[in-house]
Structure 1
């Protein structure tokens, strides 16, 4: 039996376990019919991917299926999140039929965006109660970033390729942000969307644990079976153990997604009735976070939990308990079987692959030298500079494992400032929105705490990784969720003010 079909059997079994255990707690948040429809769609598209044996056939059949599913879906972001990590984000060029070399690159993520988010964006733009794009600061900063990226692309390539890159920015950057920021309008919408992301991450987590345990990348053979070459998805190890990647293509990308899911789970779990279901979900995400053996996401997950605690009730007491638990865990790990290996993997404590930390330090030092030559708008040929050439690794590549440095090198300090300002404005907006709920146990405040902590964690993690595979589409989407939350709180404030004014005007 071919490897990809053997892997399919394992994947289907693991998915059945997750969906069976998750069905009851999921119905505490959403209708059972929505859960079953999305679950069946996940299974159907997975089977299509593994049995199609041709990526074009998968794209064509998937487009039909997704177009039908989108019409029946009440929450497009929930559908998008549920299927976002279905298969690896391999890309194929659409032929130019003799006019140009190729039109655009298509992948599962872009197929999903075009079939689910594009119709949703069009429908939202026609609704009178949808805020027009450009009316708030995150919109303006995002638009400015896109314009700058398109303009700077012209200096290194042709007009045709610039148009191609503009299309990519619209699909990969604008649509996830726009639909997320406009389509979620009340708490039920947020429950639905965040639960979908968490469920999809449960699947990634259990698959990642299986890959780690069996030393087998379950999706590694799929791209070859579909006739698509893919440079990612290679076997990587750390400390003698396989670094799981599931469908994300990179171990650190898997850890990043699971970290984001942990942040969103902090909100979702509050609505799950049975404690055993909450504990199982938390345990699965913790195991999924460990499986990639990526230290950046571990730090990010710690930051997410710390930020969530800091904005809640009894923060000081909980921080003390958390610190005591951390202090006690270190000596405990040194005596339990396998604990020494875990200690060696920990950032700032362990001694496994410490050269990666040295590489990152050198990357920062050399990048700062290159940035100083073209500080405002960067340069397109920064990789050819002597400082960057000295960073070539054994694979013959220059791995810029820092999203902020990558932006500063390509787009200069102007591009970096727009990127940072976009998320900073959203974080400030969420923090101000939390003040509308003096009760720290209010569910609206709980949602804001979860989104605030998740965004802070994302900004920490991308300091350790470039924006590869699914990483950017996740942070643009979560940014959109933050804007949707800010708008929801503003609507609540206006409604409360109107009710208060009407009450005062009523005759006594």
Structure 2
């Protein structure tokens, strides 16, 4: 039996376990009909991917299936999230048939954007209650960032290729942000979308744990079966163990996705009635976070938990308890079986691959020198400079494992400022929105805490990784969720003001 069919059997069994476990808590969060329809769609598209034996066959049939499913779907963000990590985002070029080299490169994420998000965008922009793009500060900063990026692409490449890059920005940056920021209008919409992201991450978690346990990347043979070459996918080890990657292509990308799901889970878990189900879900996500053996997402998750607790009731007391618990866990790991291995993997105190920290320090020092030569708008040939050439690793690559440094090198301090200020404005919008729900036990306030914590954790995590595979799609989507939350709070404030004013008038 071919390897990809053997992998498919394992994937279907593991996915069946996750969906069965999720059915009961899903009833507390979304409608059973939505859960069943999306579960069935996930299985259909997964079977299609493994049996099609051609990316183009998969893309053609999947486009039809997604289009039909979208028409039955009331929440396009939820549909996008549940399918986002269904298969590796390996790209295939659409041939130009002699007219041009190729039209553009297509992958699963872009196909999903075109079939689910683009129609949602066209519908949302016509709705009367949709805030026009450009009204909020995040909108303006994102637009400025995208325009700058498109213009700077012309320095290095042809007009045709610059148009391709603009299309990719539209599909992978603008559409996830816009639809997430406009489609979610109330708490049930948020609950639906966040649950689908967490459910998709739980699927990744159990499959990732299997990959770690059996030292077998289950999706690696799928690309070959589809006739797709993807340099991202490969076997990596750390401390003698395989680093799981599932469909994300890179271990740290998998850790990033699970970390974001944990941030969302901080909100969702309170809505699940069964304590056992809550604990099983948390345990599964914790296992999924461990399986990639990526330390950056561990730090990001710790930041999320601290921020979430710090913005809730009895923050100081709970943070002190958290700190004491952390201090007690470290000596405990020394004596329990396998605990020393975990300690060796921990950032800053571990001994495994400490050279990675040294490399990141060298990257920062050398990047500062390179950025100083082109401080405002950066340079696309920065990799050819002597400082960056000195960072070539054994694989023959220069790994810019820091999103902020990568932006500064390519787009200068102007691009970096737009990027950072954009996310700061989203954080400020969430924080301001939380004030509209002053009761810290209020569900809407807890949602704001979770979004604030998740975005803060993301901004810390991307210090340790470049924007590869699904990472940028996720953080632009989360930013859109933050803007949607701020708009929801703004509508509530205006509604409350209008009701108060009406009451005063009636009393007169």
Cα distance in structure 2, aligned partners of 1:252 and 1:496: 44
Give the C-alpha shift of residue 507 in structure 1: 3.8
Q: 1:120 corresponds to which residue?
A: 120
* 1:27 corresponding residue in structure 2: 27
Q: Where does residue 151 of structure 2 map in the other structure?
A: 151
Q: Measure the CA separation in 2 of the matches of 1:389 and 1:187.
A: 50
Structure 1 SS opposite 2:501:
helix
Aligned residue for 1:439? Answer: 439
> TM-score, normalised to structure 2's length?
0.99
The alignment of Structure 1 onto Structure 2 pairs a total of residues equal to 508
Cα separation, 2, equivalents of 1:310 and 1:330: 22
Q: 1:449 is matched with which residue?
A: 449
Secondary structure of 1:376 counterpart: coil
- CA shift for structure 1 position 97: 1.5
CA contact (8 A) 2:403 2:466 kept: yes
Provide the residue aligned with 1:468 in structure 2: 468
The question of 1:480 aligning with 2:485 is answered no
Whole-angstrom CA distance in 2 between matches of 1:461 and 1:84: 20
1:408 aligns with 2:408: yes
Counterpart CA distance in 1 for 2:505 and 2:274 is 46
Aligned to 2:65: 65
Per-residue CA distance 1:321-378 (angstroms, 9 max, x = gap):
1111111111110011111111000001111000000000000000000000000000
**Residues 309 and 319, structure 2, Cα contact 8 Å, conserved in 1:** yes
Matched, 1:290 2:326: no
Counterpart-to-counterpart distance in 2, 1:323 and 1:452: 21
What residue in structure 1 maps to residue 355 of structure 2? 355
1:434 Cα deviation from its structure 2 partner: 1.3
Correspondence for 1:280: 280
Q: Deviations over 1:442-489 (max 9, x none)?
A: 101000000000000000000000000000000000000000000000
Which sections of structure 2, spanning at least 5 residues, go unmatched? none
- Deviation of 1:270 after TM superposition, in Å, equals 1.1
- Distance (whole Å) between structure 1 residues aligned to residue 233 and residue 227 of structure 2: 15
Structure 2 distance, partners of 1:33, 1:392, is 52
1:216 match: 216
Q: What is the CA distance between 1:96 and its match in structure 2? A: 1.0
Check the 8 A contact 2:376/2:411 in 1, yes or no.
yes
1:223-277 Cα offsets, whole Å, 9 max, x none, are 0000011111100000000000011000000000000000000111111010000
Say yes or no: does 1:504 pair with 2:497. no
The 3-state SS of whatever aligns with 2:125 is helix
d(CA) in 2 for partners of 1:17, 1:23: 10
- 3-state secondary structure, aligned to 1:93: strand
Task: Give SS of 2:60's match.
Answer: helix
TM-score of the superposed pair, with normalisation by structure 1 = 0.99
1:79 matched to which residue of 2? 79
Moved more, 323-332 or 409-418: 323-332
**Cα distance in structure 2, aligned partners of 1:182 and 1:98:** 40
Report the 3-state secondary structure (helix = DSSP H, G, I; strand = E; otherwise coil) of the residue aligned with 1:244. Answer: coil
Q: 1:380: Cα distance to partner? A: 1.1
Structure 1 segments (4+ residues) deviating >2 Å: none
The match for 2:244 is 244
Write the distance in 1 (CA, Å) between the matches of 2:103 and 2:455.
Answer: 34
Are 1:425 and 2:425 matched, yes or no? yes
| 1:229-240 paired onto structure 2 within 5 Å | 229-240=229-240
CA contact (8 A) 2:436 2:492 kept: no
Shift of 1:433: 1.4
Q: Deviations over 1:357-416 (max 9, x none)?
A: 000000000000000000000011100000000000000000000000000000000000
Q: Structure 2 CA distance, aligned partners of 1:221 and 1:436?
A: 50
* Gaps in structure 1 of 5+ consecutive residues: none
Contact 2:3–2:221, Cα closer than 8 Å, also in 1 = yes
The residue that corresponds to 2:382 in the other structure is 382
Q: 228-237 vs 397-406, which deviates more?
A: 228-237
Inter-partner Cα distance in structure 2 for 1:87 and 1:287: 21
Q: Give the match for residue 10 of structure 1.
A: 10
CA distance in 2, matches of 1:206, 1:350: 26
In structure 2, the residue corresponding to 1:167 is in which secondary structure?
helix
What residue is the counterpart of 1:99 in the other structure? 99
The alignment status of 1:206 with 2:206, answered yes or no, reads yes
Partner of 2:398: 398
8 Å CA contact 2:75, 2:183 repeated in 1: yes
Instruction: Write the distance in 2 (CA, Å) between the matches of 1:52 and 1:304.
Output: 40
CA deviations over 1:264-322 (Å, ceiling 9, x no partner): 00111111010000000000000000000000000000000000000000111111111
Aligned equivalents of 1:39 and 1:245: distance in 2? 22
Structure 1 distance, partners of 2:231, 2:159, is 27
Secondary structure of residue in 2 paired with 1:293:
coil
1:328 aligned residue: 328
Residue aligning to 2:164: 164
SS in 1 for 2:335: coil
Measured in 2, the distance between the counterparts of 1:185 and 1:53 equals 40
2:286, 2:507 → 1: CA distance?
58
Distance 1:454 1:201 in 2: 14
Per-residue deviation, 1:430: 0.8
Q: What secondary structure is seen at the aligned counterpart in 2 of 1:393?
A: coil
For the 8 Å contact 2:182–2:484, the answer to whether it is kept is: yes
Confirm or deny: 8 A CA contact 2:260 2:458 kept in the other structure.
yes
Q: Provide the alpha-carbon RMSD of the alignment.
A: 0.6
SS at match of 1:334: helix
